[in-house]
Amino acid sequence: MRVAIYILVYLLISLPLFSFANLPTTNTYIPFFSIDERITALLEKSEGKTANKDLILENVALLLKTSNPAEQYVLYIIQANLSAGLKKHHNIISILDNVNALESQMNPEQLDTLPFIDVYKKRAESYASIGQFKQAYEAKQRFIEKYNTFLLYEKNKHIFELETKYETKKKRDINKLLNNQTILKEMEINETLSDEVTQKRNLYILSAVGVLFVFLLVRLSVINRRTRNLSKQDMLTGLYNRKTLFREGERVIQRCVTNKENLCLLAIHIDDFKSVNHQYGDYIGDEILKKLAAIGTESMRTRDIFARLEDATFIAVLPQSTVGEVKAIAQHLKEKFNSTNFSYVGIAQAIHLSLGIVEMKESSQSFETLLNAGMDTLYDLKDGKGNSISIYQDH
């Protein structure tokens, strides 16, 4: 009986350790590798019919020793180009097989650019030459997929360049309009001295400028309206920013005071966010903030205000709400965020929240007072290492 107990205890201890040891590794971002100009020049020479193959192969052998994965990839393509001229198709396939091990070390987006996608075309040609038509067909299909992806990227790049060019043209049109307005004022001063022909000409010019001015005025009005909307938002999350939060929060509080309605403030903070941001980088931190913004927006009601106060701190103002109702909302938000899997950005551990609830009392009927109470609650939770919900108690 005692031996059976020892075996059971051993299993209980060893199983968790075995599971932890077999956790999958997290994905890491692989940057684009640069390619030395000497290698690019060798690639161009290898594609020519009059290339000095021995000299090129000698340079390739030297560069392979000090090159990065992308450069090695191109160097193998150069070797394959030189073998193509000798019609050594088995040798070409063998050379191109070397790039398989390099693909796992490179950014997938870089593999979808030239000259890397040409590998599949060269394989298709070599397989077809030795009668392996199935492999040739598969390689050709892979080349077509990669090339279509490359064309789509180039198309989007071209569209972006055109949009940038359009913005520059729009600025020139505005400057042109301002210059026309100056000319128009000078024409108005000399109008009394002009003859009938000059007056008609001025009238035509005035009409054309007027039409252009109205058009640009409408466009500027649309742009100003969009700019005003953006000024109310946090650029990263799309939520209300700090300035809008204070204005809208005070407005809602005064309305609830006038109508004698309940109101609660919910303060939310991501635990240990600074250490996570420092360890994984700003880009990963931004993804966590945007995820909390999305989950928080889903958890709020239409009448609630949800905003980003600063860094990893968010504030929700919930009118017509009791402490119990807000606690249920906070619990739902906390559970949903804590269960979010951030492995897609390379984070294996769970990210937790601290939440503080403050109820509006007769002695605290201003947004600033409620906000300070909410921040005090968050500071108290931070001392207790967070990951919990606390209701503010007036001392």
pLDDT at 156 over 80: yes
Tell me if 162 is assigned to some domain: no
pLDDT at 21 over 50: no
Half-sphere exposure for 380 (CA within 13 Å, toward CB)? 16
Whether residues 249 and 222 fall in one domain: no
pLDDT of 9: 53
User: At 66, which CATH number?
Assistant: 1.25.40.10
Residue 33: φ, ψ to 5° = -90, 140
Question: Is 374 or 7 the better-scoring residue by pLDDT?
Answer: 374
Boundary (domain end) residue, out of 91, 120, 154: 154
pLDDT at 17 over 60: no
**Residue 228: other Cβ atoms inside 10 A:** 9
- What is the per-residue pLDDT across 353-366, written as a single tens digit (0 to 9) for each? 999 999 999 888 89
pLDDT at 231 over 90: no
Whether residues 227 and 257 fall in one domain: no
Whether residues 247 and 212 fall in one domain: no
- Maximum distance among all Cα pairs of the chain, rounded to whole angstroms: 122
Identity at 264, one-letter amino acid code: C
Whether residues 211 and 273 fall in one domain: no
- What is the per-residue pLDDT across 32-54, written as a single tens digit (0 to 9) for each? 888 988 888 888 888 877 778 88
- Cβ(63)–Cβ(36) below 8 Å: yes
Q: Which among 355, 243, 264 has a CA at the least distance from the CA of 308?
A: 243
- What is the per-residue pLDDT across 84-103, written as a single tens digit (0 to 9) for each? 766 777 778 878 888 887 88
Termini Cα distance of the chain: 58
- In whole angstroms, how far apart are CA 173 and each of 181, 224, 368, 384? 12, 17, 46, 60
Whether residues 180 and 299 fall in one domain: no
Looking at the structure of the chain, the number of domains it has is 3
Tell me if 3 is assigned to some domain: no
Q: Domain residues for 320?
A: 242-391
Whether residues 214 and 352 fall in one domain: no
